[in-house]
């Protein structure tokens, strides 16, 4: 074991120190802490370590309110929320230090009980996976999950879960339980205080109670969310995020907007009243079906959804502004090429991964310049941070 001083955070909230000229990433260590460490993984140019003993603790450290220390669900419970926001703000400031307009992070109203979905693993025990393993950490309650989800979880732990591999619990305006595996005790599950229950076995869904969807309302947009649809897990922050898209986009009634990776149409429908027309593109045909259903129930006439891969898109009409909200891996080469040739005045890039966001902005810089970026804390008590950025076209093509 070696005694070291932690110098700073890495982008995932681990402590960083150096030992014999090699960078060491130390889990659960904070800047300015003096600790004894044990190396757990050695690479040629860096190592990973864990704390064996705290010699001097940081004043930003708090006792974790969660009893499940080995759970891999969240990694910043050991610092105060104000300091977590500073960490996330500094991360964005360092990554994008070449632009002036980096706005203050938009904090969450609730540090806890914000998740509207959790997935629980089952194998003799019921809980989350331990970090970097498939060992289950048994849990009875998740601090990040909505109270309704924890009440359902509490009831489930009393049931016979033999032959069940995984449980997903969702809570919006109604609740849903998805059971992966086989169940014989149908009556016990049907008696749970859950609106909708589905069983997934051999890649086939069977609805045994209620519907195969749940409902929600984002500000004034009503949504049907199918069993396998992507939906943001923090509703209050999602509304703040979408309002920031509207602020940065400066939409007007002459705008035709292309919404790439539109999913079930949430962003498209949210901005539709501010613009002339929205074209939504999504590769998942079930998501497009849901988007059209959501368009219909909201009686919105100026949105048009198409099932297309983002990198195969061909738009024949003039698009004024483009919104992209890709997966964590960011934009692929063909999509970057399309954006650079699009002749759109503005690109609004929503990203859950600042690293790939920076990479993609570099690939767009020949034709677009980053004007403003706003971090949004969608996931308190984790190192993740969402960003909304706006890029302006440098010189319109003739």
Cα–Cα separations (whole angstroms), residue 346 to 104, 117, 343, 389: 22, 33, 9, 10
Q: Could you tell me if 326 and 363 are in contact, meaning their C-beta atoms sit under 8 angstroms apart? A: no
User: Residue 314's pLDDT is what?
Assistant: 79
- What's the rounded mean pLDDT across residues 293-306? 98
Taking residue 167's Cβ as centre, other Cβ atoms within 10 Å add up to 20
Question: Which tokens is 333 given?
Answer: 């080469």
Three-state secondary structure readout of 346-375: EEEEEECCHHHHHHHHHHHCCCEEEEEEEE
Burial of residue 143, with CB atoms counted within 10 A of its CB: 0-12 exposed, 13-18 middle, 19 or more buried: buried
CATH topology of domain 2-61: OB fold (Dihydrolipoamide Acetyltransferase, E2P) (2.40.50)
What backbone phi and psi angles, to 5 degrees, belong to 266? -60, -50
Confidence band of 133 (pLDDT split at 50, 70, 90): confident
Cα–Cα separations (whole angstroms), residue 34 to 20, 40, 125, 226: 17, 18, 36, 49
Helix axes 81-95, 354-364, angle to 10 degrees: 20
Q: Which of 71, 74, 352, 387 is catalytic?
A: 352
Contacts of 366 (CB under 8 A, 6+ apart): 340, 394
Domain locations along the chain:
2-61, 86-110+234-393, 117-214
Q: What is the pLDDT of residues 234-283, one digit of tens each?
A: 999 999 999 999 999 999 999 999 999 999 999 999 999 999 999 999 99
Strand bridging mode 277-282 / 256-260: parallel
Q: What is the pLDDT of residues 177-229, one digit of tens each?
A: 999 999 989 999 999 999 999 999 999 999 999 999 999 999 999 999 999 99
Catalytic residue flag (residue 66) = no
Bridge partners of 335? none
Measured CA angle at 341 (ends 340, 347), to 5 deg: 50
CATH architecture of 117-214: Beta Barrel (2.40)
Same fold, 86-110+234-393 and 117-214: no
User: Residue 397's pLDDT is what?
Assistant: 61
Taking residue 48's Cβ as centre, other Cβ atoms within 10 Å add up to 16
Kindly state the DSSP code that residue 40 receives in the 8-state scheme: E
Is 398 a residue whose pLDDT tops 70? no
Cα–Cα separations (whole angstroms), residue 199 to 213, 225, 316: 13, 17, 43
Bridge partners of 257? 278, 321
- What's the rounded mean pLDDT across residues 74-97? 96
Q: Does domain 86-110+234-393 have CATH number 3.40.50.150?
A: yes
Contacts of 302 (CB under 8 A, 6+ apart): 272, 275, 276, 277, 278
């Amino acid at each position: 074991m070696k005694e070291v001083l932690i110098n700073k955070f890495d982008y995932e909230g681990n402590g960083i120190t150096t030992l014999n000229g090699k960078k060491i990433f130390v889990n659960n260590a904070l800047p300015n802490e003096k600790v004894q460490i044990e190396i757990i993984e050695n690479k040629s140019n860096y190592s990973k370590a864990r704390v064996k003993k705290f010699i001097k603790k940081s004043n930003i450290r708090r006792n974790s309110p969660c009893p499940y220390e080995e759970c891999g669900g969240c990694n910043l419970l050991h610092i105060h929320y104000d300091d977590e926001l500073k960490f996330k703000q500094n991360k964005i400031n360092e990554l994008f230090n070449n632009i002036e307009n980096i706005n203050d992070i938009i904090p969450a109203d609730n540090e806890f009980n914000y998740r509207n979905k959790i997935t629980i693993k089952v194998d003799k025990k019921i809980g989350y996976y331990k970090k970097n393993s498939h060992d289950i950490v048994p849990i009875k309650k998740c601090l990040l999950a909505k109270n309704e989800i924890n009440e359902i979880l509490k009831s489930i732990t009393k049931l016979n879960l033999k032959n069940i591999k995984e449980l997903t619990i969702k809570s919006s305006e109604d609740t849903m339980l998805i059971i992966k595996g086989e169940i014989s005790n149908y009556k016990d599950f049907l008696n749970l205080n859950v609106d909708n229950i589905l069983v997934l076995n051999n890649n086939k869904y069977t609805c045994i109670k209620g519907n195969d969807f749940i409902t929600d309302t984002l500000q004034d947009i009503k949504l049907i969310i199918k069993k396998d649809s992507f939906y943001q897990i923090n509703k209050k922050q999602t509304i703040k995020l979408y309002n920031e898209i509207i602020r940065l986009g400066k939409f007007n009634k002459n705008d035709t907007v292309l919404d790439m990776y539109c999913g079930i149409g949430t962003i498209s429908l949210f901005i539709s009243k501010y613009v002339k027309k929205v074209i939504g593109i999504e590769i998942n045909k079930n998501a497009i079906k849901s988007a059209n259903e959501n368009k219909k129930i909201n009686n919105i006439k100026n949105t048009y959804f198409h099932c297309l891969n983002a990198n195969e898109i061909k738009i024949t009409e003039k698009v004024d502004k483009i919104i992209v909200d890709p997966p964590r891996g960011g934009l692929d080469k063909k999509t970057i090429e399309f954006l650079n040739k699009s002749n759109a005045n503005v690109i609004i890039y929503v990203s859950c991964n600042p690293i790939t966001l920076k990479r993609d902005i570099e690939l767009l810089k020949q034709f677009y310049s980053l004007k403003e970026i706003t971090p949004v804390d969608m996931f308190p008590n984790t190192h993740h941070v969402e960003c909304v950025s706006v890029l302006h076209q440098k010189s319109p093509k003739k």
